[in-house]
Structure 1
Amino acid sequence: MKTALISDLHANRQAFATVLDHARRQGAGHFALLGDYVGYGSDPGWVVDQVRALRAEGATVVAGNHDLGVSQGPRAGMNEDARAAIEWTRSRLSEDQLRFLASLPMSEEDEDCLYVHANAFDPSGFAYVQGRLEAMRSLHATECRYTFCGHMHEPMLYHLSGTGKAGDFKPQPGMPIPLLPNRQWLVIPGACGQPRDGNPAAAYAIFDHDSEELTFQRVPYDVEAAAAALRAAPGLPPALAERLATRLVAGR
């Protein structure tokens, strides 16, 4: 079985639709959605409905900080644009959609896999895994062999050996990586809807449970259409569209 690991959709319809199509063509039979379905983007209703449909079909779905911000109110530490986007998003979602976001679990376990938005040591605190120190803290907090999380918006892979030796790896897209059985692994697939590594292509990853191989993916999508939809949405900060456009330029 292949699991598509998708995080940080951020109401980006163009990116999410492209990634779903790409993942299915790669043979993904299961979807693990790692949070932040809303916030920043212009199509929260469409994205939430797609997430709900996938969950009804058996997808693993966990909550992100923007999802809780929209359903429960902005969290401390969110910047001005994020707060503005949360208030805008709340006015665009139905009560049923808001209840769905509020109902999502902070984490899910399935055999030797842990799915969580930010980290394993404090899922509801949403601390970032910014480097090896936080990654090791997260791996020490679970007995699961694989931890899959988002929140950082940049693809990254960390590992911890049975002797306590830690390592990290910045992956190249499209290259299968064998996840050796004598290690724990922490996988950050990157952001589907808002990459922040200078490459505008949507990021996600596919984990092959049978071969125990992980493949990071980058999928070009219509960034200009996503930015135009943001500009056309009254009430969303213009900087959000400019940020997507900036990513486009930076990735060339």
Structure 2
Amino acid sequence: MLLAILSDIHGNREAFEAVLAAARAAGAERFVVLGDIVGYGADSEWCTETARSLAESGAIVLRGNHDDAIGNASVTMNPTATMALEWTRRQLGADARAFLAALPLKAREGDYLFVHADASAPSDWNYVLDASDAGQHLGACEARVSFCGHVHKPALYCTAPGGRVTHFCPVAATPVPLLPQRRWLAVMGAVGQPRDGNPCAAFALYDTGSAELRFLRAAYDIATAAGKIRAAGLPVSLAERLFEGR
């Protein structure tokens, strides 16, 4: 089965639409959404309803920290994120709020684990930023292959002989065989707010039959997404960063 795995949509309808179209054109048979459907962008309601439709069609959809914060008024973030969070709370209807609140923090299917952040403590929302963090994640899960998001930068880690964790910088569209003698953690980039210097929306395709993973990018209408952010009165920096992928 060909899985399309994506994370950190962050209310960016244009990016979400582009990724869904690209994944379907590539033959994706099932979707996995690793959380942070809302926040930052101007279309969190639409993105939530679309994620719910995917879930109803058999997709795995998880809760990220921004999704979790919608129903938790005590959550605070940096000033820019807090402004976006408060705005998003006012935009979402009761059904969307209930959907986000009910999402699981992780999902295990066979030898695969899906989670938004570090698997050692999913509700603490720790980032996997380097091999040390990846080692903590891998040490806490039994699955041979795991996938997370939260970082907004694609990365790939695996256990080498002796247990040492190795970090790889994935090359877009290049298939990576996830060899069975190693354990793997694939960190998805962001659909709606990339921070790796590439403004195109990030996602990945994983073939469960061949065990090959491809990190991919999809171009989208950034100007429209940014214009909506400005029109909503959200912080201008949230619009400007989309053009630079930062």
Q: Give the TM bin, normalised by the shorter chain.
A: over 0.9
Secondary structure, in 3 states, of the residue corresponding to 1:58?
coil
1:36–1:67 Cα contact (<8 Å) kept:
yes
What is the number of equivalent residue pairs in this alignment?
Answer: 246
Distance 1:74 1:156, change over 3 A: farther
* C-alpha distance in structure 2 between counterparts of 1:8 and 1:92, whole Å: 18
- How far the C-alpha of 1:72 sits from its partner, in A, is 1.9
Matched with 2:164 is: 165
* C-alpha distance in structure 1 between counterparts of 2:238 and 2:53, whole Å: 27
Residue type of the alignment partner of 1:175: T
Structure 2 residue 242 is the aligned partner of structure 1 residue 244: yes
- How far the C-alpha of 1:74 sits from its partner, in A, is 5.2
Residue type of the alignment partner of 2:239: A
* C-alpha distance in structure 2 between counterparts of 1:74 and 1:35, whole Å: 20
* C-alpha distance in structure 2 between counterparts of 1:139 and 1:28, whole Å: 27
* C-alpha distance in structure 1 between counterparts of 2:244 and 2:56, whole Å: 36
1:185-232 per-residue CA deviation (whole Å, 9 max, x = no partner) reads 000120000000111000010110000000000111111111111111
Matched with 2:28 is: 28
* C-alpha distance in structure 1 between counterparts of 2:35 and 2:73, whole Å: 16
Secondary structure, in 3 states, of the residue corresponding to 1:102?
helix
Correspondence list, 1:128-147, <5 A: 128-147=127-146
2:134–2:165 Cα contact (<8 Å) kept:
no
- How far the C-alpha of 1:71 sits from its partner, in A, is 2.2
Correspondence list, 1:170-209, <5 A: 170-209=169-208
1:74–1:86 Cα contact (<8 Å) kept:
no
* C-alpha distance in structure 2 between counterparts of 1:155 and 1:73, whole Å: 30
Secondary structure, in 3 states, of the residue corresponding to 1:217?
strand
2:198–2:244 Cα contact (<8 Å) kept:
no
1:161–1:182 Cα contact (<8 Å) kept:
no
Residue type of the alignment partner of 1:211: S
Matched with 1:38 is: 38
2:14–2:220 Cα contact (<8 Å) kept:
yes
* C-alpha distance in structure 1 between counterparts of 2:128 and 2:188, whole Å: 12
Secondary structure, in 3 states, of the residue corresponding to 2:192?
coil
* C-alpha distance in structure 2 between counterparts of 1:143 and 1:4, whole Å: 22
Normalising by structure 1, we get a TM-score of: 0.95
Runs of 4+ in 1 over 3 A off after TM superposition: none
Give me the CA root mean square deviation: 1.1
Matched with 1:124 is: 123
* C-alpha distance in structure 2 between counterparts of 1:237 and 1:70, whole Å: 18
Matched with 2:149 is: 150
* C-alpha distance in structure 1 between counterparts of 2:39 and 2:73, whole Å: 12
Matched with 2:213 is: 214
